Structure 1
């Protein structure tokens, strides 16, 4: 996978979106076509996908107008329709209607010493999709500087801001998914990165918007962390205190939300979670690359997901990225590889400032 880099200037949000769209028009167009193909293979007709995207766009305009302005700019700059950008932004909400997807293992250690949390996440996604992605740097309307990893057409996913707050991101599946229109979960991540100073503020933002699909946003601050599990049915907060280590994969940990768990396919969420919990001491390793390599050296499959040749292309997943957050010196540190392969991949640092 190729991870491109992009830094926005100090223009207004729509103008910077236009500049981004013009620079990455081929990637945006390719992403639109690839996702339309995935939707069709997953049993989602294009008219249904576009209807969900329109609803997501309306919710974004109401609750995150600055992000909606960026979408207009990206569309204008790339020559695509705003509706196409919304298809990419709302891909989780669209897929939640028919075929849930599997992605990501996250672990966070909050040292008792007072040091900033140490984190690690894998991003697992479809083998055939998103083989060009981007880390972006921008300044929000409130003046916050942000760095985040995302697919083309998404406003944010995994990121960190210069106020000392970071977000890890794992997909979840709940029986309430698709039961109402709502703000895309990738827009929710952007809202938190743009505006939140504290974990409490991140929780307030998550509780303030309607959602159409489920995810867990593990929010990390300088003094602690919390997993915010979100679904159309509700929001649950799992705090992580000093001296604790917390892991999350792709099943709900809050008992009330877990009662509505929905997973119609064979998932590796439990084995990956067990791997993290059984090797929790590795999360305390201070250097992020060494932390990644340690998890990559765990015997067995661990958290490095490999594509299965016996599965159809639209349900064939692999680990595409290993990433850590530094909230003390706000940066993403990452390799475009699974932990098991990180030793042979460049380990890169991308700062918010």
Structure 2
């Protein structure tokens, strides 16, 4: 074993795929999760894939005392990968206090846990939303960060500022913030994938649930954006590619290859696809027609976001490998497995 890595939110979508990648690369992964938006059976699926079941600490990191006890128990960890956050853009617009309290409290309690227990490295799950409506495309790490349009996005921007201040004030502490564009897809085994509670907030699980008959209609939020077909443009990245990037970031920190105590990297493919591109590609891959309807714009959405990926390639030795068809076909395989009659529970 190379060492212990704590993965907060490790039963969630990106967290679970990252746990798989950590184990495959020789690390011990310990999952911190309160299971508020995830399922414990995912740990058994991780064992099916890797042969090892990660240890679970069921903990609400927004609770100071719970967080303190959990981090003390695992003070021998080499690093923390922090996914613990609420993440629905629309919900955050309606419930901003919920998002500020949970997302920032869990981070602050995690940083305090690092101080108290000498855990020197953290990888933070950030978002391209910190760029707001970009002035220049593709978006590089040199783009100005702006006040995001949603409280969810603003928690990411504020969290990065907290990490930057903290890492500069503590010379033995290092942080890497990974700014995701739009993660989609599922593990090639079909055993883990995106498993939203209730109506999905993200596009592809909405698409796959409509195709599976779980939802009757797919809503496309706006067709009056300045794009080729009027729908928003996003940079979609396979979740397995994303997971690999987290392992690369861990290795950069634990081998002291980082060039400053606080670094940021974009994670995307560099390609922009519209919502209708996703729908059309899905229909081609799955060989079926989707029932979709154009509705009004959704609060918090911007016209276009796609990445410049040179820095991650040069510094992390990472770049995406999977194309859009791979992303969509893996997500559809996962959705079909979910609806195959298997019963899931905590």
What is the TM-score of this pair, normalised by structure 1?
A: 0.29
Higher strand share: 1
Structure (1 or 2) with the larger CA radius of gyration: 2
Higher helix share: 2
What is the TM-score of this pair, normalised by structure 2?
A: 0.30
